[in-house]
Amino acid sequence: MNTHKLIDGKANAARVLLQVREDVERLREQAIEPALAVILVGSDPASQVYVRNKILRAEEVGIRSLEHRLSTDTSTEQLLMLIAHLNADRSIHGVLLQLPLPAHIDELRALEAIAPDKDVDGFHSQNVGGLSQGRTVLAPCTPSGCLYLLEQTCGDLRGKHAVVIGRSNIVGKPMAALLLRADCSVTVLHSRSPSPQLLCRQADIVIAAVGRPRLIDASWLKPGAVVIDVGINRIEDDGRSRLVGDVDFDSVLAHVTAITPVPGGVGPMTIAFLMKNTVTAALAQHQALRSQSEALCRSIY
């Protein structure tokens, strides 16, 4: 295999996490203990694995973590009460609500209830809007991780043509906003795009986030393209269950400059950027408190 073409998510995530650990130590020296609350409603098996990994990774880098497991029949009101409680707790800096939620819960209301400065997933409309204005805000973790991999692989992204395949709120749309903020020309393709292959073949950079196993083959790619595969699809292959991406890895490898494998590509980056966002949130909240108290002192004396 052309291993020199592989974009190693594990190694890049380890580098980000090393920096996060150093940042956590520096915050602890100032008596700030970064803390992340993770809420899981129901018993979706994949979500349970994701949440466990998030908690484990937080412990590894010195971030205090609190896990709130709620039963499937939790009401929207009960969930909102827990979020309000976590918002008010100054010792907690990040609040993450694991998706998907049970169908009866009002997802948008729940996500909007998380205080924007604790919204380490970057899903609150204030952060979504800020990102689309090109501002530095808490941005969604998976696309942030993809952008980091692209910067490490391609260097300067300015002027590159990036095609994002998929328009989800978690990956496709924020990915497009981050690439625009990095001065790429951005095309977003989705299930209603006519001739997606033709458009995709013009791209220097392709980000596949559609959730369709091995949809993208060499006919979609310009020779030498850089490919980021966000898909994690479980398939049965020769009677064995295994994970594959949205890109037909084996058939495109000879065709590309670089590509993320599945697993071991984008996956580890998501958690690394969740940790990074938690530290960023802790620092911002501490600075906001300090300027509030300084303003109060000025008004008294």
Closer Cβ to ligand GUN, 127 or 187, answer by number: 127
Kindly determine how many residues on this chain lie close enough to bind ligand GUN according to the rule CB under 6 A. Answer: 9
Among 17, 96, 200, 279, contact with ligand GUN (rule: CB under 6 A): 96
| Residue 220: DSSP 8-state | G
Cβ 225 to ligand GUN shortest distance, Å: 25
Nearer to ligand GUN, 142 or 285 (CB): 142
| Residues 191-230 interacting with ligand GUN (rule: CB under 6 A) | none
Q: Residue type at 9?
A: G
| 98 tagged catalytic | yes
62 in a known ligand binding site = no
β-strand partners of 37:
66, 95
Catalytic site residue 121? yes
276 — alpha (psi -120 to 50), left (phi > 0) or beta? alpha
Backbone angles phi, psi at 281, to 5 degrees: -65, -45
- Answer yes or no: are the C-beta atoms of 38 and 55 closer than 8 Å: yes
Instruction: Tell me, residue by residue from 241 to 280, as one string, x for binding to ligand GUN by CB under 6 A and - for no binding.
Output: -----------------------------x----------
Distance between CA atoms of residues 178 and 138, nearest Å: 12
168 assigned ligand-binding residue = yes
Give the Cα separation of 295 and 292 in Å (integer).
5
- In the complex with ligand GUN, the residue whose CB is nearer, 203 or 207, is 207
| Residue of this chain nearest to ligand GUN (CB atom) | 99
Question: Is 54 known to be catalytic?
Answer: yes
191 three-class SS: coil
Choosing from 23, 117, 119, 121, the catalytic residue is 121
End-to-end CA distance of the chain: 70
Q: Which is nearer to ligand GUN, 256 or 269 (CB)?
A: 269
Task: Please report, as a single letter, which amino acid is at residue 274.
Answer: L
Contact (Cβ atoms closer than 8 angstroms) between residue 246 and residue 211: yes
Determine the residue type at 216: I
Can you read off the two tokens belonging to residue 151?
A: 């910067």
166 annotated to a ligand binding site: yes
Which residue in 137, 170, 210, 279 binds ligand GUN (CB under 6 A)? 170
Single residue of 7, 40, 61, 97 touching ligand GUN by CB under 6 A: 97
Q: How far is the CB of 55 from ligand GUN (least distance, A)?
A: 13
- DSSP assignment letter at 187: E
Restricted to residues 125-164, the positions that interact with ligand GUN (CB under 6 A) are 141-142
Retrieve residue 26's tokens.
């520096």
Q: What residues pair up with 244 in beta bridges, in sequence order? A: 233
Q: Per the annotation, where are the binding residues? A: 166-168, 232
Query: Which residues of this protein are in contact with ligand GUN, per CB under 6 A?
Result: 96-99, 121, 141-142, 170, 270
Residues taking part in catalysis:
54, 98, 121
Q: Per the annotation, where are the binding residues for NADP(+)? A: 166-168, 232
